[in-house]
Chains A and B, each alone.
Chain A
Amino acid sequence: MSVPVIQTSSLSRRFGEKNAVDDLTLEVQAGEIFGFLGHNGAGKTTTVRLLNGVLEPTAGHAKVLGLDPQREGSSVRARTGVLTETPAVDERLTARENLSFYAELYNVPRGEVVSRVDFLLTEFELIERASEKVGGYSKGMKQRLALARALLHKPEVLFLDEPTAALDPVATRHVHTLVEALARREGCTVLLCTHNLVEAQHLCDRVAVLEQGRLVALGTPSELTRQYVRRLDVDLEVDPAQIDLVMQTLLQYPQLVIGAPKREKDTLTMTLPGRECIPELLSVFIGQGLRVYRLAPREADLEEVYFAIHGGAE
């Protein structure tokens, strides 16, 4: 197995009495889109800071691209790109000046600065307003500029902190396409911090859920679904002439169906306690001569996983 691009071992960071990151151990593989989920203050941003050598850990250690961020922070940051939670662009400079400045700091070869900056301004549809002061930009434009800045030096690892928070749906889709292309075609590893569970579901190969700095769940979205979401919603299509009979039958098996099924035209939607109830339910239908045309389980999404992990408080 290849060496992980990001590796943390009991990584911890305290701020006074508060554990911002608590005993975090995980690995991220090359080319993976890895999601970091959690409430505000769960420790996502602090982890990004620790992995880039911007903050020092209180305990534990990390490796990024085989380097120790604490001792070799500069070398790590030369190979990573970070989109911060706020765009952090200089509003008194133009978009071109902003990118050119950071191109110098990221050591983009002098001869390539202009072409690289123009390429990214075009890619993020900012080229027409590239000579305007960024202060006049919309939130979304600033966010796109910040994302362009993170990509200036073609990083091997990209940290994205809420990349689509201020973007409209079209720009959001553009960012998703870009992130997928970076990971799938160019082998860039992406660590995505997001509140947007649909985004995480759509983009991430694996996700980690943090709660008060602790890792509470880790796996692919489907692994987490199986692990955390026991209940299963299913759609059941039966012979329309038998639909009332099916309803009555289902109500006699509370161990197989939770609550009353909902009827919508010829389809019933119901919640089962788990996947293992499906064969039993089918035996009941067959035993009673009920004609079932379709029984389709609905895959739970990360949103359900997330709420299941957080005790359904939300």
Chain B
Amino acid sequence: MNTRAILAIVRKDLKVALQNKGVVLPIVILPLILFVVLPWIMAYASSLTGMSGASMSNVDELLKRMPSGLLNELSPYNQEQQMIVFSLVYMLAPMFLIMPLMVSSVLAADSFAGEKERKTLEALLYTPTTDRELFTAKLLGAWTAAVAVALLSFVVYAVMVNAAGWQSIGQVFFPNWMWIALVFWVSPAVAGLGLVVMVFVSARAQGFQDAYQTGGLVVLPVIFLMIGQISGAMYFSLGVVLLVGAAVWLLDIILLRFASKSFRRGELMTKF
């Protein structure tokens, strides 16, 4: 493998992508809303709930629907604190996965479909880079950036969550082991999933926007996880997170095999 060529493509792809407003805006705005604004709103809403008797009975009802494992994890806290911990630590956990998924797919859309749109792919295909190097470079750039943004978002979220909940809880309560597994085990896998899906979508898309819109459907499983958690059908325990991670990694490996097979110069020249 020609690492020099791979790194050159990674650097170039990121540089080009970061000059596209369609790429940069969601990468900046989404974490700002999810990991800076939302924690404060949730913490404020939870503390308001704590002041109202009627709302407290609603919280009680909501928590009663939750799996016993979650109730055990919330048991050290009083009811107001439980609401804060539940909303900031558990309810938002699946939403965190949107971040690596979105970043990897938006960058991959720019890298694959965008390259097709800009008509720059052909020159790249005439270079001595092998199909495998090209594929690796294209995936590596978007994946590394997605994981880096996810890590950064996690650090920002950790600070925001503890700051927002400090008044009610009075101690550092975030992250727990579930979140550590979510960030370091599941989010890289989810970033990979966004990438491979976008490789397939880009082969049929006309350009960046087209690929990004079609590939956006990949967030649906994350939405289902969120609904499952809010409805009490499941909760993000450490075990569930490890299991979800393993499933996504497995899916990544299977899809990657197919994607790498279709990523051949001849195919690219006709499809891309």
Contacts and interface: CB of A to CB of B under 8 A. Distances in A.
Interface stretch (A23-31, A72-80, A223-231): A72-80
A18 B189 CA distance: 42
Interface string B1-16: 0101101110010011
A149 B130 CA distance: 19
Nearest to A79: B128
A170 B109 CA distance: 40
A80 B15 CA distance: 27
A230 B5 CA distance: 54
Contacts of A149: 123
A34 interface: no
A56 interface: yes
Contacts of A146: 123
A34 to B, nearest CB: 18
Given A107-B2, A149-B123, A54 B130 contact: no
A52 B127 CA distance: 9
Contact of B5 (A88, A89, A105): A105
B123 A107 contact: no
B269 A90 contact: no
A74 B128 contact: yes
B12 A90 contact: yes
A53 interface: yes
A79 to B, nearest CB: 9
Contacts of A78: 128
Q: Is the interface of B mostly helix, strand, loop or mixed?
A: helix
A90 B120 CA distance: 6
Contacts of A89: 120, 123
Nearest to B126: A82
A55 B265 contact: yes
A268 interface: no
Interface residues of B, number: 28
B266 A77 contact: no
A97 B11 CA distance: 11
A84 B12 contact: no
A54 B269 contact: yes
B130 A74 contact: yes
Contacts of B20: 92
A15 interface: yes
A91 B121 CA distance: 13
A84 B127 CA distance: 12
A88 B270 CA distance: 16
Contacts of B206: none
Contacts of B127: 77, 102, 105-106
A86 interface: yes
Contact of A90 (B8, B118, B129): B118
B2 to A, nearest CB: 7
A47 B12 CA distance: 29
Contacts of A86: 119, 122
A104 interface: yes
B15 A54 contact: no
Contact of A74 (B19, B121, B129, B270): B129
A49 B5 CA distance: 21
A75 B128 contact: yes
Contacts of A106: 127-128
Nearest to A56: B266
A101 interface: yes
B125 interface: yes
Interface in B123-154: 123-130
A194 to B, nearest CB: 18
A108 to B, nearest CB: 10
Interface in B219-271: 265-266, 269-270
Interface in A295-311: none
B12 A54 contact: no
Nearest to B9: A105
A93 interface: yes
B89 to A, nearest CB: 41
Nearest to B8: A104
Contacts of B265: 53-55, 73
A49 to B, nearest CB: 6
Contacts of A93: 12, 15-16
Query: Across chains A and B, which 8 residue pairs bring their CB atoms closest together, nearest first?
Result: A104-B8, A88-B123, A78-B128, A105-B127, A82-B126, A77-B128, A92-B19, A74-B128
Interface of A: 15, 49, 52-56, 73-75, 77-78, 80, 82, 84, 86, 88-93, 97, 101-102, 104-107, 146, 149
Given A104-B5, A107-B2, 5 more contacts: A74-B129, A74-B130, A102-B123, A105-B9, A106-B127
